Structure 1
Amino acid sequence: MRENMLKRKLAAGEAVIGCFVPYPSAELAELVARLGFDFVLIDCEHGPTSIESAYHMVLASEAGGATPLIRVPQNVQQVILRYLDIGPGGIMVPQVNSADEARAVVRAAKYHPEGRRGVAGVRAAGFGVEAPLSEYVRQANAETLVIVQIESVEAVERLPAILDVPGIDLLFVGPNDLAQSMGYPGQPLHPEVQAMVDRIVAMVDGRLPLGTTAPTPEQVERQLARGFRLLAANTTSLLAAAARTLLQAAGR
């Protein structure tokens, strides 16, 4: 298994920035990587990206020099297994609302003795020809980045217990679903939603790295100042911002 440079940077206390790619395009994933982002976040929760498309996007991200991550569609052991088997550097699991659900993520993502992930000579394991599987499972447990999303009031209320779950590498605050959970759908910047985000940061208090979205340069600066260490933009937002600037210059 490849050395996970993204995990190394986080462990060293560095901040990292990447980009959601919500479309099934290996070319777009490679372009995002070649632009200099630390990671490409392949979104298989929303949109049409299948596991077959994600496979090629993982390869393209690696070719471009970024760590591929996959946001899986469900916190289900066999679902997580299949996405990890294609060889990303880690997974992000949405809607983790309790310690039991967090433990389920770790069980699915880690091999014995840390979890129950099934062992096979898949791409993640170098197809079983590069090293003994016994060595691969040790490397995979050390290198795989496990991210759970905190995106509901319920998850925030149970955050102290979630923090106690071993094997979680990073908590990712999802502002859109958090806003919806609080009764402000489509308003992630609502003052009460942002106050809840501040509450999450205070509750975590550095025990784990925190990640969130940062669609603009201003948001990047704000989230870094708050203590977030992993920031994710979105290809759609970046394209829209660049297009509007260009069209405005053309008088459109």
Structure 2
Amino acid sequence: MAITPNHTLDKLRAGKTAIGFGIHHLRGPVAGALAAASGFDWIFIDMEHGAMSVDQASAMCVAAQGQGVTPIVRCCRDALFEGTRCLDNGAMGVVVPHIDTAEDAAEMVRAFRFPPQGMRSWGGPPIQYGYRAPDTATAQAETNAHILLCGMIETPEAVANVEAIAATPGLDSLMIGTSDLTATMGIAGQIGHPDVQAAYARVAAACAAHGKVLGMGGVYDEVWAPKYAALGARFILGGSDHSFLMAGASARARFLAGL
């Protein structure tokens, strides 16, 4: 039984860009279908700020398996067990916020990769195998190679430690959480501030040196997004269901009000 491909991870490994559709309010199987229909590569199921349960997140992950988008969850750093349960039930990647040290990064890898790379527990064959896996050793090795792990850089401490974080085996990507980074720098919302530009350059250099993909979150305008993408950001969060709905609904309301 072949494992379901991780198309987002395949694109990133091929040097291409993969864009994500953030899910904060949507629930159920429609989420992934809407993201795919809109041209996105992956769904970002936000369990850090969204109110969905593991059950709701897993249902969206299972549905996404056949919708052409890669289901990726974000769990809180102190709730890694939620990410593990989602991986056992359909998720194909995990993003963890506030990875400030190499020790934080190593803890994340231990939680989400099977031995010998980590200490994830085997819960039986998941949906990626249609619930019918080959022998356990083969399934665990294939799963390790097919899940995407991304740590978020969101504080000055993380930027200062980024070379060591990027050197951590088992991580695929480091995503700058630009909103939280500006807040912890004392320049909340100033995504083009020189200090933010310097942070992007330093994280980009560390990613390039250690074979990690630079990720970008919290940059949605048409001024700074191209500049940071030019530094190598290819794992890009494109926005959330909330912002997409507000933008589309607001534009429609303006049009109709002007008739």
TM-score by length of 2: 0.88
Aligned residues: 252
In 2, the alpha carbon distance for the partners of 1:124 and 1:62 equals 8
Which runs of 5 or more residues in structure 2 are unaligned? none
How far is 1:122 from its partner? 4.9
- Which structure 2 residues correspond to residues 1-252 of structure 1 after superposition, within 5 A? 1-26=3-28, 27-124=30-127, 126=129, 129-205=132-208, 207=210, 208-213=212-217, 214-233=219-238, 234-251=240-257
Compare 117-126 and 168-177 and name the one that shifted more.
117-126
Compare 231-240 and 173-182 and name the one that shifted more.
231-240
Which runs of 5 or more residues in structure 1 are unaligned? none
How far is 1:82 from its partner? 1.4
Confirm or deny: 8 A CA contact 1:19 1:39 kept in the other structure.
yes
Q: Write the letter of the residue equivalent to 1:250.
A: L
Compare 41-50 and 231-240 and name the one that shifted more.
231-240
Confirm or deny: 8 A CA contact 2:4 2:129 kept in the other structure.
no
In 2, the alpha carbon distance for the partners of 1:76 and 1:179 equals 24
In 2, the alpha carbon distance for the partners of 1:145 and 1:198 equals 23
In 2, the alpha carbon distance for the partners of 1:145 and 1:189 equals 28
TM-score by length of 1: 0.90
In 2, the alpha carbon distance for the partners of 1:50 and 1:3 equals 25
Confirm or deny: 8 A CA contact 2:149 2:172 kept in the other structure.
yes
Confirm or deny: 8 A CA contact 1:121 1:127 kept in the other structure.
no
Confirm or deny: 8 A CA contact 1:17 1:230 kept in the other structure.
yes
How far is 1:137 from its partner? 0.4
How far is 1:236 from its partner? 1.7
- SS for the counterpart of 2:66 is helix
In 2, the alpha carbon distance for the partners of 1:161 and 1:139 equals 27
In 2, the alpha carbon distance for the partners of 1:204 and 1:131 equals 34
Q: Write the letter of the residue equivalent to 1:148.
A: G
CA-atom RMSD in angstroms: 2.1
